[in-house]
């Protein structure tokens, strides 16, 4: 057991670095011999660097949910809904088990904002977890119920971004 007590952290905002911060915490927990469940919502693409990166860390369970297609607000498909439900089911299982020291729900804030995940249902699972389990919720537009649960809220704010200069996303840095 790494944490006593386990806290709830929210990484939100329009700036870059929310998933990266969660990955950093996962590395730190693994460095202390902890167990991590890293569940990604709305990330069905195969080319994210963290897919391979997490596989190198001992004690990590990495689950991706979502389709390879970009999800546009208001145009969510039944497959998007099914994948989000699968993600929430995995999250509930990992949170309740007490096996993991850290459970990361990557992009769950966006999934909730798009109506793919019921934030109340997710919040209930977080409240009912064993007391040593740390939780990180990432993504833009964190719902109020998540912010209310949080012991730590970090808002990433974009000050400058290379995209504004016309630079595309870069492998290794942005995905």
Q: Is residue 56 one of the residues assigned to a domain?
A: yes
Q: Is residue 1 one of the residues assigned to a domain?
A: no
Q: Which helix (H) or strand (E) holds 149?
A: helix 144-149
Tell me what pLDDT residue 162 has.
Answer: 79
Separation CA 4–CA 161 (nearest Å): 37
Total of domains in the chain: 1
Separation CA 26–CA 22 (nearest Å): 6
Tell me what pLDDT residue 2 has.
Answer: 85
Q: Is residue 145 one of the residues assigned to a domain?
A: yes
Return the sign of the alpha-carbon dihedral for residues 76, 155, 21, 34.
negative
Tell me what pLDDT residue 66 has.
Answer: 95
Residues in the chain with pLDDT values less than 50? none
Q: Is residue 150 one of the residues assigned to a domain?
A: yes
Write the secondary structure of 31-66 as one string of H (helix), E (strand) and C (coil): HCCCCEEEEECCCCCCCCHHHHHHHCCCCEEEEECC
Please tell me the pTM assigned to this model: 0.94
Q: Is residue 170 one of the residues assigned to a domain?
A: no
Tell me what pLDDT residue 165 has.
Answer: 81
Q: Is residue 2 one of the residues assigned to a domain?
A: no
Tell me what pLDDT residue 45 has.
Answer: 81
Q: What is the CATH number of the domain that holds 46?
A: 3.40.50.300
**119-124 — which CB contacts under 8 Å span 24+ positions?**
119/143, 119/145, 119/146, 120/145, 121/88, 122/88, 122/91, 122/146, 123/149
Tell me what pLDDT residue 9 has.
Answer: 98
Contacting residues for 60 by C-beta, under 8 A, at least 6 apart: 26, 30, 35, 36, 37, 38, 54
Q: Is residue 172 one of the residues assigned to a domain?
A: no
Tell me what pLDDT residue 163 has.
Answer: 78
Q: Is residue 13 one of the residues assigned to a domain?
A: yes
Range of the domain at 17: 8-165
Tell me what pLDDT residue 172 has.
Answer: 75
Tell me what pLDDT residue 174 has.
Answer: 74
């Amino acid at each position: 057991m790494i944490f006593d007590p386990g806290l709830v952290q929210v990484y939100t905002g329009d700036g870059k670095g929310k998933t990266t911060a969660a990955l950093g915490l996962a590395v730190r927990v693994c460095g202390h011999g902890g167990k991590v469940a890293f569940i990604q919502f709305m990330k069905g693409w195969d080319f994210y660097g963290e897919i391979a990166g997490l596989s190198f860390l001992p004690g990590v369970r990495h689950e991706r949910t979502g389709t390879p297609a970009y999800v546009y607000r208001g145009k969510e498909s039944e497959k998007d809904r099914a994948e989000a439900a699968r993600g929430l089911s995995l999250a509930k299982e990992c949170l309740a088990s007490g096996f993991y020291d850290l459970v990361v729900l990557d992009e769950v804030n966006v999934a909730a904002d798009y109506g793919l995940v019921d934030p109340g249902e997710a919040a209930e699972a977080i409240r009912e977890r064993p007391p040593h389990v740390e939780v990180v919720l990432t993504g833009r537009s964190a719902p109020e119920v998540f912010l209310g649960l949080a012991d730590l809220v970090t808002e990433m704010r974009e000050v400058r971004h290379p995209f504004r200069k016309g630079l595309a996303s870069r492998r290794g840095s942005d995905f």
